[in-house]
Amino acid sequence: MTIVGVTGTKGKSTVVNMLSFVLKKLDIKYASYSTLETSNNNTSNLNTQKMTMPGRWTLPMYFKNAFKNGARIGIIEATSSGLNQFRGDAFNFDIVAITNLQKEHIEIHGGFENYKKAKGRLFKLLTKYNHKFIDNKKIDKISIVNLDDDNSSYFLDFKADKKYVVSLKENKNNTKINILNLNLMKPDNLIVDATGIHFDFEDVHFDINLFGTFNVYNLMVALVILKALKVDMNKVAEALKEYQGAQGRMEFVRTKTNKNVIVDYAHTPDSLKAVLTTLKEMGFNKIISVIGACGGSRDKWKRPEMGKIASELSDYTIVTNEDPYDEDLYKIMNAIYMGITDKEKARIVPDRIEAIHKGIDMLNNEDEALILTGKGSEKVIMVKGGLRGTMKQEYIGDYEVAKQYLEKM
């Protein structure tokens, strides 16, 4: 089985989802495991475990059973915590990729450098085991890195038979590319606008119904992985014409109303800034943000940052509940609220469903948008209680809450 590992601070779930979509459309037998879903050939199930890389042999057995059912490609979304807990060590990786590296999970790892090293474990695992031979052909060990990321050099230092780098910048005089013998992959004739993303790659034209420059990077990482898997790019382009994006990632709530409501997982300052900037680039004249509580007992530094970014790039901000775990909900929300620069254009609404309803009520015209962030496709809220100090509180999801309320209008 050819094993692909995808990591990064943001975008990794989207990349795995893109790969799954294309392989499924082209009837190439595969299995994948990500934050969003588990997918085995034609069967996909939403991941409701609040865990991307489960332990106790869950992952190895999942892919072993998938192999028995015909899957020949395995795709794993690799998290820093999962890698740190050796949950990727059972796999002989053939292709590893990183989308980007931003400030995240600092408290859990004890600093950014430790977080970076945890991500680096995936690239170290690439050459831990011997090369595979499939159908008597030696399988190359391939790494894929976002060259435009500030930390790209660290990941390029790890050994690989072939190293691909994706970039959206001009790199004609980049000596790093020549010295390290890197294969530069970039989109040609790139256009990112309100109609989607359009570009040429490998002499094939792509028209994709996604938005924002950040999604171009996700697309390029996915395309280079598919190139490494030797999938026909013409067929990939044809398949991606039907791709509507990953669930809970810049996902528009589709109803018969003229109200624009978007669901996105954005739970870091960088990802929140990216989605809000994208909405402005799409031409929305008024943006209302519903931002969550960033998760209890972790990454407390980013709470005021989230409030600051939301208030600077939104016309109104509603702070609400997300996943408080065993921490006081109001303490978390107040920390976010303190970062908001214009308190006149913000409020705290503890009940998430009520917060979404109030946001929708504030929409008046077609050039206005409401963005719901922090939960994405998740269907539970982690709250205080239970044997381990936290428990799962059932929640129907941001998309469903918004859709039901809109359909009543």
**Model pLDDT, residue 82:** 93
Give the model confidence (pLDDT) of 257-297 as tens digits. Answer: 889 999 998 888 988 999 999 999 888 999 999 998 667 77
CA 205 to chain centre: 24
- Per the DSSP assignment, residues forming a β-bridge with 138 are 133
State the greatest distance between any 2 C-alpha atoms of the chain, in Å, as a whole number.
68
Give the model confidence (pLDDT) of 364-397 as tens digits. Answer: 999 999 999 999 888 888 888 766 677 778 888 9
Sorted by where each begins, the domain ranges of the chain are: 2-240, 251-408
251-408 CATH choice from 3.40.1030.10, 3.40.50.450, 1.20.1050.10, 3.90.190.20: 3.90.190.20
Reported confidence tier of residue 308, pLDDT bands at 50, 70, 90: very high
pLDDT above 90 (res 299): no
**Model pLDDT, residue 325:** 87
d(CA 73, CA 90): 16
For residue 293, the tally of other CB atoms under 10 A from its CB is 28
pLDDT above 80 (res 199): yes
**Model pLDDT, residue 140:** 97
Mapped to the 3 state alphabet, what secondary structure does the chain carry?
Answer: CEEEEEECCCCHHHHHHHHHHHHHHCCCCEEEECCCEEEECCEEEECCCCCCCCCCCHHHHHHHHHHHCCCCEEEEECCHHHHHCCCCCCCCCCEEEECCCCCCCHHHHCCHHHHHHHHHHHHHHCCCCCCCEECCEECCCEEEEECCCCCHHHHHCCCCCEEEEECCCCCCCCHHHHHCCCEEECCEEEEEECCEEEEEECCEEEEECCCCHHHHHHHHHHHHHHHHCCCCHHHHHHHHCCCCCCCCCCEECCCCCCCEEEEECCCCHHHHHHHHHHHHHCCCCEEEEEECCCCCCCCCCHHHHHHHHHHHHCCEEEECCCCCCCCCHHHHHHHHHHCCCCHHHEEECCCHHHHHHHHHHCCCCCCEEEEEECCCCCCEEEEECCCCCEEEEECCCHHHHHHHHHHHC
pLDDT above 80 (res 250): yes
Tokens 């890698």 — which residue? Answer: 83
Lowest mean pLDDT among 116-120, 314-318, 377-381: 377-381
Reported confidence tier of residue 300, pLDDT bands at 50, 70, 90: confident
Give the model confidence (pLDDT) of 5-31 as tens digits. Answer: 999 999 999 999 999 999 999 999 999
Lowest mean pLDDT among 65-74, 97-106, 196-205, 308-317: 97-106
pLDDT above 70 (res 173): no
Higher-confidence position of 360 and 394: 360
d(CA 249, CA 243): 13
Lowest mean pLDDT among 52-61, 100-109, 130-139: 100-109
pLDDT above 90 (res 231): yes
Higher-confidence position of 42 and 89: 89
CA distances from 12 to 24, 33, 69, 136, 181 (A): 18, 11, 25, 31, 25
**Model pLDDT, residue 246:** 82
Q: Does domain 2-240 have CATH number 3.90.1150.10?
A: no
Question: What is the percent of the chain where pLDDT is above 90?
Answer: 70
pLDDT above 80 (res 171): no
Choose among 398, 372, 374, 350: nearest CA to 295. 374
